[in-house]
Amino acid sequence: MITEQGFGSVYSKPYNIQSIDPDKPDTSGDWEMYVGLGIGMNLYQEGHRLMPGVRWMSSAYSAYSQQLRKKLHAANPYIWNASCTWCDAKLRTQSIYSWQDADQQFFTDHTVHTKV
């Protein structure tokens, strides 16, 4: 979902998604069996491929989504927001309000310091 010019967010609540299994027509209660297969990462990357000019904000709360967002952020911190101590520290030292306000140059040395 595009939330503002140039920024988007993904609303993903796997425990609320309706099942496509005809034998289990309600919400999918066994979504956790698919965690770690890379499906979520592929969905995020495909969304970005379809909308390459968008930077993706994060409001990841579950342990699963936080780890996925950290992987995406480590791969391209300008495009993918995530909880990041490196970014938080640098934002403070440069008096930049948020990840959204940082330009691409801000992240030049990011991958050198980031561990996933």
Whole-number pLDDT of residue 31: 65
- Tell me the percentage of the chain whose pLDDT exceeds 90: 39
The 3-state DSSP class for residue 55 equals strand
Q: CA 101, 66, 30: angle at the middle one, nearest 5?
A: 140
What are 3-43's pLDDT values in tens digits?
A: 777 888 776 666 666 766 777 777 666 666 666 666 778 88
Whole-number pLDDT of residue 20: 66
Counting the structural domains of the chain, the total is: 1
Domain that holds residue 31: 2-113
- CB-based burial label for 44 (10 Å; 0-12, 13-18, 19+): buried
